[in-house]
Chain A
Amino acid sequence: MPDKKIKSLDQLQSLKQQLIADKSQYKARILICMTGCRALGAQAVCDAFRRQLAKSTLADQVEVVEVGCIGICAMAPVILIEPYDYLYGKVKPEDIPEIIATTLTGGKPVERLTVTEDGKSLPKISDIPFYKKQQRLVLANCGRIDPKRIEDSIAAGGYAGAIKALTQMTPQLVIDEVTQSGLRGRGGAGFPTGIKWGFCSKSPGDQKYLICNADEGDPGAFMDRALLEGDPHRVIEGMITAAYATGATKGFIYVRAEYPIAVEHINLAIEQAQILGLLGEDIAGSGFDFDLDVRIGAGAFVCGEETALIASLEGQRGMPRPRPPFPAVAGYKGKPSNINNVETFANVTVIMETGAEEYSDIGTEKSKGTKIFALAGKVKYTGLVEVPMGTTLREIVFEIGGGIPDEGQFKAAQLGGPSGGCIPPKFLDHEIDYDSLQEIGAIMGSGGLIVMDQSTCMVDVARYFLDFTQSESCGKCTPCRVGTAKMLHILQAICDGKSEGIDLDELIKLGENIKLTSLCGLGQTAPNPVLSTIKHFREEYRQHIEENTCQAGVCKGLLGYEILDVCVGCGACKKVCPVDSITGGKKALHTIDKETCIKCGQCFTACKFKAIKR
């Protein structure tokens, strides 16, 4: 690393050219996802590559690079080989000799490791349907650079946009540019970012703070984690731009404790940026000072709400407070503060790089740019997806995600986590943006997108989310504390088959009152999963309440397992029953003791003869 601090934009650009030249010594680069894929053995693959390459004649010609999320998590561990751009999945250490011989020496793909569609091998990443409909702007470097080396980021153009802003633009011009781009907050609410910055900028104060909300608490969302792990410099660069625009000289990144790799990478990135003079005093000779600290959250969903997050930063219980005053006026330690989400800052970097005009060409009329979704649940290709605003749900679930596995049928997509809603099949062709989602009872949210099929019970899903929000409710305001508990109680009763006297319209009324009267975003949105499932799946609720049935086979209180006479007496169910409730001799009809059965469903899954009814 050069020991001299960067003093100008020109100096940054010449360092970039030099770093690109340095890289050209390698004939090929093996990019290995060392973040999410670690859970499935990426470390062993990486170590084996290094060991075997060192012994080969390719030692000096091939670089092994540990990268962030490549995107197609369903194929983990995933590797990408440049310059061929071959993507291999489910790679094991045993596959490495073949990859070295066939691809690195021969330049040909190892077909058995590639994605296949209709029996055809698709080695090149650009041919894979999962990537074809995507537009990876924010994720451009994610999975392509080593997030632990600032040089990789600079070589890819990192920090140029921010330094240009600091040296060639006034803070107001930066705010205008971001306002013009149409960027809206990616944390979920979708408030225009430029306008938010304007509030903080105009707010009088001797000290201002900039806060990055990386407390990604929605279950089923991992976009911010992937960005911090895979391209932390893009987030830092966005923060430098935002700090300059708002006049903040001190910043915090509030990361959840469950993300140790993200914490490690962001800490390292800050340290490297400080060494190069891209953070700290007189950034790149611009005369502007800004420094950053990482704060680790301690596990509280409500801290995703900005006033609760500030309370947590101040070392208090993370409880929200009424607004106004807004954080832009009185935030951290009572000083003007601006809070944006990780993905928002990463988008700022894209805007400063491409310009507001080009950026605002992407997306819909009122929602500009791209959105990253964490695609998961009952979908073939789970992973990280970045699409332009206005992409339809069908394109995301079926074209990118490859549809529902095991011949399942699409039942709903859940967007926006515990604050969002479930979208039924009739809206599959609805263009997704902030406003269109609200029209159909969901919200953009932070970007978790969970696909559900016929084996998902919508009443249970509503109960599940309410169970979550109810336990995460901080208890400060009554509508949220008491109201969500009451709603959960009703839903639990429906799932338990004790729904006598339950009136769905009363439940809707209760939900709407909680939304209107709660103090913060948690309570104001907690009823959404219930309201949206009642709206779109009312028949399923009716079946639970009036017919005591759960067609998805999820609500235990409504299930009664029994063995039909097609049973061949194979004993598979008896073997898996954890409580020994199944009896029956060899090749004889088995029976389930309903008294002791715990309705775990293992026999149902184990039976190959469809002899178990529930």
Chain B
Amino acid sequence: MAIQTDVDMEALDGILSATPDIDSGDLIYILQEIQTAYGYLPRPILSEMSNRTSIPISRIYGVATFYEQFHLAPHGKHTVRCCRGTACHVRGAQSVSDAIARTLKIEPDQTTPDMLFTFETVACLGTCFLAPVMMVDDDYYGHLTADKIQDILERYT
């Protein structure tokens, strides 16, 4: 990952000053706040956070890389999340996931070069009655078949 040095520190200031007496118990919460503000966890922000809170950077990275929610690279404009839960699996989620990969020409956990889409698979969206299901940003698309994918994704620009 390229190190960016031009990241705005203002949001970090706000997050750190809003949480009094930060200790490592607050780490996950603070990383969630940083990701909400920046869209991902920029490396310079994490370094700066370590400097200001005296939580070692190794500890911060350890947590940031353990949990699936956190990502260290910028996300695309739209996030496609294909459910790979059991109900979806037995109703053909694999062919839906393959179709998304084919349409976007990327594999899960990758972002298109034009930064329009990030493609993720998730363990379960908890909407098993829609199986197989995917979400694009906050929109649900249920009862999917492979041939519907291209039309749906073309709506997002």
With a CB–CB cut-off of 8 A, which chain B residues contact A222?
Answer: 124, 126-128
State which of B63, B95, B126, B140 has its C-beta within 8 Å of the C-beta of A259.
Answer: B126
Segment of A91-99, A292-300, A484-492 in the binding face: A292-300
Task: Select the residue from A36, A298, A312, A598 with max chain B CB neighbours within 10 A.
Answer: A298
Bound-state CA distance A605–B91 (Å) is: 13
Find residues 115-148 in chain B having any chain A CB closer than 8 Å to their own CB.
Answer: 122-131, 133, 140, 142, 145-147
Q: Are B70 and A314 in contact (CB under 8 A)?
A: no
A316 near B24 (CB under 8 angstroms)? yes
The reply to whether the CB of B11 lies closer than 8 angstroms to some CB of chain A is: no
A315 contacts B27, CB within 8 Å? yes
- Asked whether B99 lies within 8 Å of A377 as measured between CB atoms, the reply is no
Q: Are A382 and B90 in contact (CB under 8 A)?
A: no
Q: Which residues of A contact B89 (CB under 8 A)?
A: 219, 461, 464
With contacts A377-B87, A377-B90 taken as known, whether A76 is within 8 angstroms of B129 at the C-beta atoms is yes
Chain B residues within 8 Å of A382, by CB: 87, 128-129, 131
Is the CB–CB distance between A316 and B63 below 8 Å? yes
- Flag if B123 contacts A217 (CB, 8 Å): yes
Q: How far is the CA of A414 from the CA of B88 in the complex (A)?
A: 13
Establish whether residues B69 and A257, one from each chain, have CB atoms under 8 Å apart when the complex forms. Answer: yes
Assess whether B147 is in contact with A576, with CB atoms less than 8 Å apart: yes
Chain A 433-457, CB-CB to B under 8 Å as 1, else 0, gives 0000000000000001010100110
Q: Check B68 for interface membership: any CB of A closer than 8 A.
A: yes
Point out the residues of chain B lying under 8 angstroms from A450, CB to CB.
86-87, 90, 128
**Is B28 touching A298 in the complex (CB atoms < 8 A)?**
yes
Candidates A225, A298, A576; contact of B31 at CB < 8 Å: A298
User: Is A275 at the interface (CB under 8 A from chain B)?
Assistant: no
Q: Which of B84, B123, B147 has the most CB of A within 10 A?
A: B123
Check A298 against B86 for contact (C-beta < 8 Å).
Answer: no
Q: What's the least CB distance linking B49 to chain A, in Å?
A: 13
B68 and A220 contact, CB distance less than 8 A: no
> Measured between C-beta atoms, what is the minimum distance from B37 to chain A in Å?
16
Size category, B interface: 35 or more
A602 in contact with B147 (CB, 8 Å): yes
| Contacting residues, chain A, for B107 (C-beta < 8 A) | none
Contacts of A257 in B (CB 8 A): 32, 69
- Decide: A220 and B140 in contact? CB cutoff 8 A: no
Establish whether residues B129 and A383, one from each chain, have CB atoms under 8 Å apart when the complex forms: yes
- Establish whether residues A220 and B86, one from each chain, have CB atoms under 8 Å apart when the complex forms: yes
CB of B86 within 8 A of CB of A464, answer yes
B156, CB-defined interface residue at 8 Å: no
Query: A218, B124: Cβ atoms under 8 Å?
Result: yes
Distance in Å from the Cβ of A499 to the closest Cβ of chain B?
A: 20
Please state if A602 and B87 are interface contacts (CB–CB under 8 Å).
Answer: no
Contacts A40-B130, A74-B129, A382-B129 given; does A315 touch B26 at CB 8 Å: yes
**Complex interface: chain A residues within 8 A of B91 (CB):** 377-378
Q: In the complex, A382→B127 CA distance in Å?
A: 10
Interchain CA distance A609-B135 in the complex, whole Å = 34
The listed residue with most A CB atoms (<10 A of its CB), out of B26, B66, B130, B145, is B66
Given contacts A40-B130, A219-B84, 11 further A-B pairs with CB under 8 A are: A76-B129, A219-B86, A220-B124, A257-B32, A258-B125, A298-B68, A317-B62, A318-B67, A376-B86, A377-B87, A602-B146
A-B contact pairs, 21 of them (CB 8 A): A216-B126, A219-B123, A219-B124, A221-B124, A221-B126, A222-B126, A258-B124, A298-B28, A298-B31, A298-B67, A300-B68, A314-B24, A315-B23, A315-B26, A377-B90, A450-B86, A456-B90, A472-B123, A474-B66, A578-B146, A600-B146
Residues of A participating in the B interface, judged by any CB pair closer than 8 Å: 36, 39-40, 73-74, 76, 216-222, 225, 257-259, 295-301, 312-318, 333, 374, 376-378, 382-383, 414, 417, 448, 450, 452, 455-456, 461, 464-465, 468, 472, 474, 576, 578, 598, 600-602, 605-606
